[in-house]
Amino acid sequence: MTGATSCVTGAPFQQKTRQAFCSYNGTSCCNSTDDKQLQTQFNAMNISDPGCASLVKSVICAKCDKFSAELFRTDSVPRQLPILCNSTTSENSNKSSQTKNDFCSNVWTTCQNVSIISSPFAASIKSNSTKLTDLWKSQTDFCNAFGGASADGSVCFSGEPVTLNTTTPISPPGGLCLEKIGNGSYINMVAHPDGSNRAFFSNQQGKIWLATIPEVDSGEPLDVDDSNPFLDLTDEVHFDTELGMMGIAFHPKFSQNGRFFVSFNCDKQAWPGCGGRCSCNSDVDCDPSKLPSDSGSQPCQYQAVIAEFTASGSQPTQAKTASPKEVRRIFTMGLPFTGHHGGQILFGPRDGYLYFMMGDGGGIGDPYNFSQNKKSLLGKIIRLDIDSTSSVEEITKFGLWGNYSIPKDNPYTEDKELLPEIWALGMRNPWRCSFDSARPSYFMCADVGQDKFEEVNIISKGGNYGWSEYEGPYLYTPSKSPGANKSMSSINPIFPVMGYNHSDVNKNGGSASITGGYFYRSMTDPCMHGRYLFSDLYAGFMWAGTENPEDSGTFNTSQISFNCAQKSPIDCTFVPGSSALALGYIFSYGEDNNKDMYVLASSGVYRVVRPSRCKYTCAKENSSAVNDDIPSSPPAASPPSAATMLTGSYSNFVVILMSFMLMLANWF
């Protein structure tokens, strides 16, 4: 049983026809197998007191809550029961909410002298006692073991479906105002871990730059030296349509240890250091010799790599370059085809583990069913402990793909069929994920669709997101599938909370490809605050997702207009014969240390600014608090050198070439 199986209330295809054991207000959150197992466990407890029985039932059914990954959070070993809300609450809580949420004390008071056979409260201490008073000396001891508060973005269980803090719905935005601050074409942006106004930018070809971000409304462009990258791995990285440097992540303690990590693709025929095990292997009933060639390449010629590097010098925060020599190879896996391999890496803001987004490996409809195969890492969200080195026994036991350890609370501890690296499954090609900086329990991932639907998911521990049984909310039937298929009833899919149909952006049924974003947490545009922003790769459409009610997991999405700000530091370009802003392709989004948000497009870097600079109306914007006298033109600069002009021309050529290749990739 998967301990983080979740449901989204009101999601399409929700099973509502049967009477479920674990249900909240009539809505079942568990699949039939989980329901049956939990009911069997509950019946075996033989609880005679109805009040206690009701409380214990709600506790064991908490595994089905949408936020179960947060309810069962742990610092060491996996929890068997959720964290029960006690009377210790956050600073904003009033006395009535303290009484309402003192669920742990309620469980103790109601059940302390009731016999509970095979009590779930005794599992952690391996006792055969049946009463709480036999196991714990007092309510205080009991709630020290099982209790906790809802604070700092974390959640606890109060006997009802988890709802986080609620706020008054915000007013609809008039549109998104963007200023252009850079000409470079990047696919990753990471704020400097030192909290400064600097950020790292990387391109697909294999370079990382350290740039200084100008103050909002300063009229200044991004300060970056194109000729002096922070790290250059172009000799190792294989750059192609969907291959290259795909992700960068800086250790939470980078300011002390200088450690950072790069996710990239390499060609084992061109670089001896590229070799690795093929993801098409006997463990997943796949024979690489029977895979067709793809774009002239052989199966597993290209590898997905995560490597560790270090900043140069004794003070990492002052380092302007990094050594191109790998400190440690974390992960290497051969790819069956040239597409659908995600590649983004992120550190969890609360647990400090490294999350790796991996697509299904390519092929129309995931023909080898990698995404649903629990013994394959393709089509998965992977979670690794990179602070611990693997022992020989661990590498042998788990068949690890590199030098890392397995977090002890990964879902394999609850689903023995899963590879231990897997955090979630059923992805097609996750393209840009993010943790909400205000609520780390919201782990958002956009997943690129096949024929009909582009989706955004809330990722939870052990969650199955349906591909290739489902494409978003729609059933999907592949045209051919030599791999082993599973019946529709074999999975309990979590449906997307946001998304759009291909026909919404291309009436002629052409290409669409989602680019995930962030919850906007800056107050630069107060009318956009709290909304999740995302777009389509082809840059004609952006959406804002508004959660209603707040913290419910239910979103309303609306298409939003966007335009170029007056007096942009760098002049924007527009679609010929139109007033529409021409972004090119939207590859990704970024967020700086001030929580301002950026659009990374093929035409440059854009920052979200005050809506009034685009003549958008926002009643919450206090225009008197911001000086509007931005200089009409930036200070005079020295003429560019011939080398700079040549570099810029080459960069533009690469952007045009890559854009054309991306278009071809989506056609096929």
Q: Give the span between the Cα atoms of 90 and 72, in whole angstroms.
A: 19
Two tokens, residue 381: 């969200």
Q: Are 355 and 342 in contact (CB under 8 A)?
A: no
Predicted TM-score (pTM) of this structure = 0.75
Give, as one character, the DSSP assignment of residue 320: S
pLDDT band at 25 (very low <50, low <70, confident <90, very high): very low
Q: Are 602 and 583 in contact (CB under 8 A)?
A: yes
pLDDT, tens digit (0-9, with 9 covering 90-100), for 274-287: 989 999 999 999 99
pLDDT, tens digit (0-9, with 9 covering 90-100), for 96-153: 443 456 899 999 999 999 999 989 888 666 677 889 999 889 999 999 889 887 765 5
pLDDT score of 620: 85
- Name residue 615's amino acid: K
pLDDT score of 33: 65
Give DSSP secondary structure letters for 560-619. Answer: E-EEEPTT-SB---B-TTSSSB----EEEEEE-TT--EEEEETTEEEEE--GGGGT---T
Of the candidate ranges 62-76, 188-202, 588-602, the one whose mean pLDDT is the lowest: 62-76
Of residues 181, 177, 185, 176, the one with CA closest to residue 588? 185
| 190 or 124, greater pLDDT | 190
Q: At what angle do helices 32-45 and 50-60 cross, to 10 degrees?
A: 140
Q: Give the span between the Cα atoms of 619 and 95, in whole angstroms.
A: 34
**What percent of the chain shows pLDDT beyond 90?**
63
Give me the helices (H) in 371-483, please. Answer: 392-398
**What percent of the chain shows pLDDT beyond 70?**
80
User: Three-state SS for 37?
Assistant: helix
Q: How far is CA 544 from the centre of its chain?
A: 17
